[in-house]
Amino acid sequence: EHCGVSPEDVDVMMGTFTKSFGSVGGYIAASAEVVSFLRRSSPGSIYACAMAPAAVAQASQALRMIAGEDGTRKGRDKIDTLRRNANLFRAGLQRMGCEVLGDEDSPVIPVMLYNPAKIPAFSRECLLRKLAVVVVGFPATPLIKSRVRFCISAAHTESDLIAALRVVDEVADRVMVKYKWTGRPNVAPLAEVESQRKQH
């Protein structure tokens, strides 16, 4: 719908209620034949439990709010704020030289770390600076396609996002994950290299 494609032209729609709706679980919408096949052949359908009623109510209420069925513009305003926040954060990451994946407007923003050893380094350095991040590695990604995934919210303020970008900028320099050329060399400062050499 966002890109002008009618849902009737899509054979299978899949999504999550976790990031988008503040709930848990997800969905697959398709023809009865496809859904029946997936139910019979997918381990998740066989071994996982159904969504809790409270989680269903949360996702359902979020969908109603987005559609304006609550009689307000609150849902539409949240989506606009979310889009603005996501694009501000994405642009900041790109400007600093991070390799950013994903689509414009998406609140889920993956940044490539590549080397598996950079996963704990990036995460710990961010946590030392009071920023919690989600890192993703093998087997969820191919071995050398490790990444950090930022999930932006409509509740984040501009100052929250700018503060987070400052931390990411500092950590990305320290861990050396700025793979895009920005005019600044992506090497550790000589003084820091010398300091670390003396410590060891």
DSSP state of 8: G
By the 8 A CB rule, do 147 and 112 touch? Answer: yes
Q: Residue 50: helix, strand or coil by DSSP?
A: coil
What is the Cα–Cα distance from 92 to 77, expressed in whole angstroms?
A: 23
Measured N-to-C along each axis, helices 74-96 and 158-175 cross at an angle, to the nearest 10 degrees, of: 30
pLDDT tens track for 12-68: 998 888 866 778 888 889 999 999 998 888 887 777 788 889 998 988 998 899 899
pLDDT tens track for 92-136: 999 999 999 999 999 999 999 999 999 999 999 999 999 999 999
User: What value does the mean pLDDT take over residues 155-181?
Assistant: 94
pTM over 0.95: no
By the 8 A CB rule, do 54 and 22 touch? Answer: no
pLDDT (0 to 100) of residue 3: 78
pLDDT (0 to 100) of residue 15: 85
pLDDT (0 to 100) of residue 199: 66
pLDDT tens track for 186-199: 554 555 556 656 66
